[in-house]
Structure 1
Amino acid sequence: MTGFEPIILFGIILALALNFVNGLNDASHSIATVVATKALSPAKAVLLTALCNFIGPYLFTTAVAATIGTAIVTQNALTPLSIIVAMGAAIILVFVATRAGIPISSSHAMVGGILGAGVAVAGLSAIILPPLVSVADVAVYGIAGGVIGAIALALFAASFGEDTKTGVILGALFGASLVIPVMMLLGLLKIGGLLVIVLFIFISPIIGMVGAFVFDVLISHLFRHSRRNRMKRIFQPLHVLACLVQATAHGANDGQHAVGVITALLVSSGLLLSFVVPEWVILAAAFAIGLGTCFGGWQVVDKMAKEITKIRPYQGFCAATASSAILVCVTHQGIPVSSTHAINGAIVGVGATRGKNAVQWRVVREMVTAWIITIPLAVVIAYAGYFIVAFGMSFL
């Protein structure tokens, strides 16, 4: 034991509070389309989402937690105080952005907080930077994938009578984005840490968007002669199943944020000798995010169900399948991502099948801007916050 017991306890409570708030605000996004299409009642949707968010952290490895706790900054930069300041910075940024109506990711805010506080403790050398060869590999694969994707999706769009210009743009984005996780899964591209986190800020919503777009076009073509009632009977249960998988993946990815932070706290205080996640930490984090969903999911589901219009069960199925696929893959690879961004990207893709005017591009631009600025803002807040807190503690 060290003299850090009170601060460690405070840090654990703060980390679990973050998971609770995540469940309160974000967890129900994955099931809201089911309520919008009247596949489930709000009560059933929230309870099922809470259950899925609870079991999510148990169905996957703790790879996301390890990334947060070991792959962003060096271990000497992770002190109990720096970890608590990082969480505080994330909470402040998310709160202010939410009040201002700016959609930001709590995942990325947490990453930025760890970066800023870590640099405050140990300088720029604390940042775990990728080797230049990894950056070069990403660039080469990305360009090749973009070219192939542009050609393939342009031909796909033309064959179904869609706009080929849109196909080229979406194909280039999709190809450049898809090739990175595919190469990682095949073991041909070995990247991690900060590089992969930054890349997937853009990759996960792009894959969700284009994947949902392609899926929607295919299903619309295959069932073009089917009556709406028949499509509803087929896709409504599939939509529910896809959303439950999506909610489970959300719990597995976002639920591990507290797991990583708490384990890093225990290691930094000497209570753990290495980064091995205790079972009680997983249980506590899963319980916190599930409880948050139960308390706040009702309002979130009701609000989103009223705002989401002109979405049919098969479209909800397309969006949920695309976003859940990317969430499952990135969680397996240990990459902390914004579940909400992946889901929103998929919904944009479904909307784009009705033409570019069917998507509110102003909202999309705001989302992309938020993706870009979240980590830098969190870095600044945590960096300044560490020195302010340390200065204040010097008088105690």
Structure 2
Amino acid sequence: MLTILIIIIVLAFVFDYINGFHDAANAIATIVSTKVLTPFQAVVWAALFNFGAFFISKYIIGGFGIADTIAKSVVLQKGDTMALYVILAGLLSAIVWNLITWWFGIPSSSSHALIGGMIGAAVAHYQTFGVVVAQKVLPIIGFIVLAPLIGMFVAFVITIIIVNLCKRANPYKAERWFKRLQLVSSALFSLGHGSNDAQKVMGLIGAAMVASNYIPDLKSIPDWVPLSCFIAIGLGTMSGGWKIVKTMGTRITKVTPLEGVAAETAGAITLFFTEHFKIPVSTTHTITGSIIGVGATKRLSAVRWGVTVNLLWAWVLTIPVSAIMAAIFFYIMKIFA
């Protein structure tokens, strides 16, 4: 059992790292596309704030609520040796889906891949949907739609306010100021990204530790776990995910520094709002909705809806495909367990 636990922890950090470079585009796409920072400068900037989110969550917010939600999304019986295989299967499924979507440059959700994987493996093991904790999972599924809509609405409102306030401003000076402000808005979004996504892996490791009787409950997670999770996602972000940067930064709509500030600020507000209610959301969905909201202020045709529809299909398919893959992984492991 200890060997499986160690494998889960190692793979969880691998997933966290992949999550970082897969989702790097979320935080840096607009700041790179507006040429405020070079790609290398942007990933270093985002990675620093990804890691800095650890201190915000621990010392300002005072806890890791999203980790708790992930860990309790399915019921795993304590002492059940196969429970660790459920977590391992879910984790493998999420890693595979992340790599597939990264390869094709599709900005999908790492968190929904993880949730889908956990659900699929747990149902495969216990042979009932009763193991899925509805009060934890349903809000996560609901925010597949709500997170991008909130980001879209907030970005639309912020853009309209900024445009009206800066009507008489000197265009050259205004652009220079908005380029500076993009450093602040991208930092805020990176804080939200780090806090939201690193906690998902932390919750997974916590669930594995409880299932293996390594710790009595989630409150007893050792300090090295959250710290390592935030470091891993920061390192992953520094590795970048350039195919997705291209999709997010240029293919959805053309983004100016003003619009970049609006999109990133709207994304950050959405992430902080959902973290307050302990709801894991997709940073990818959030920033995509925000970029669409910004584009829609010019005219609806400014948004490349063909690209957007393809993204929506990926979002809808993430949970069911991850669940099916996790069930397959679980059945394979059960043969050799």
Establish whether TM, by shorter chain, passes 0.5: yes
What does 1:27-46 correspond to in 2, within 5 Å? 27-46=24-43
- Given that 1:82 and 1:117 are in contact with CA atoms closer than 8 Å, whether structure 2 keeps it comes out as yes
- Secondary structure in structure 1 of the residue aligned to 2:35: coil
Correspondence 1:24 to 2:21: yes
For residue 74 of structure 2, what is the aligned residue in structure 1? Answer: 73
Offset of residue 228 of structure 1: 1.0
Out of 217, 234, 240, which is 1:274 matched to? 217
**Residues 299 and 206 (structure 1 numbering): CA distance in 2 closer, same or farther, change over 3 Å?**
closer
What does 1:133-282 correspond to in 2, within 5 Å? 193-276=136-219, 277-282=221-226
Over the matched positions of the two proteins, sequence identity in percent amounts to 36
For residue 49 of structure 1, what is the aligned residue in structure 2? Answer: 46
Offset of residue 282 of structure 1: 0.7
* Structure 1 residues without counterparts, runs of 5 or longer: 131-192
- Given that 2:120 and 2:327 are in contact with CA atoms closer than 8 Å, whether structure 1 keeps it comes out as yes
Count residues with an aligned counterpart.
327
> Quick check: 220-229 or 110-119, which moved more?
220-229
Offset of residue 12 of structure 1: 0.3
**Residues 308 and 100 (structure 1 numbering): CA distance in 2 closer, same or farther, change over 3 Å?**
closer
Counterpart Cα distance in 2 of 1:380 and 1:310: 36
Offset of residue 102 of structure 1: 4.0
- Secondary structure in structure 2 of the residue aligned to 1:336: coil
**Residues 108 and 298 (structure 1 numbering): CA distance in 2 closer, same or farther, change over 3 Å?**
closer
Counterpart Cα distance in 1 of 2:103 and 2:238: 22
Counterpart Cα distance in 2 of 1:96 and 1:301: 16
Deviation track 1:184-218 (CA, whole Å, cap 9, x = no partner) reads xxxxxxxxx01110111111111111211122122
> Quick check: 227-236 or 298-307, which moved more?
298-307
**Residues 53 and 196 (structure 1 numbering): CA distance in 2 closer, same or farther, change over 3 Å?**
same
Offset of residue 343 of structure 1: 0.6
Deviation track 1:59-86 (CA, whole Å, cap 9, x = no partner) reads 122111101101x111328811110010
Larger radius of gyration: 1
Offset of residue 301 of structure 1: 5.6
Counterpart Cα distance in 2 of 1:129 and 1:299: 35
- Given that 2:107 and 2:244 are in contact with CA atoms closer than 8 Å, whether structure 1 keeps it comes out as no
* Structure 2 residues without counterparts, runs of 5 or longer: 58-62
Counterpart Cα distance in 1 of 2:24 and 2:223: 22
Deviation track 1:331-382 (CA, whole Å, cap 9, x = no partner) reads 2222111101111111111111121111111111122222222111111221
Correspondence 1:377 to 2:321: yes
The one-letter code of the counterpart of 1:52 is F
For residue 183 of structure 1, what is the aligned residue in structure 2? Answer: none
- Given that 2:182 and 2:257 are in contact with CA atoms closer than 8 Å, whether structure 1 keeps it comes out as yes
- Secondary structure in structure 2 of the residue aligned to 1:200: helix
Out of 129, 133, 141, which is 2:134 matched to? 129
Offset of residue 98 of structure 1: 3.5
Correspondence 1:345 to 2:312: no
- Given that 1:201 and 1:371 are in contact with CA atoms closer than 8 Å, whether structure 2 keeps it comes out as yes
Out of 355, 359, 362, which is 2:306 matched to? 362
**Residues 64 and 33 (structure 1 numbering): CA distance in 2 closer, same or farther, change over 3 Å?**
same
What is the TM-score normalised by the length of structure 1? 0.77
What does 1:106-121 correspond to in 2, within 5 Å? 106-121=110-125
Correspondence 1:84 to 2:72: no
What is the TM-score normalised by the length of structure 2? 0.90
Counterpart Cα distance in 2 of 1:265 and 1:304: 34
For residue 386 of structure 1, what is the aligned residue in structure 2? Answer: 330
The one-letter code of the counterpart of 1:129 is A
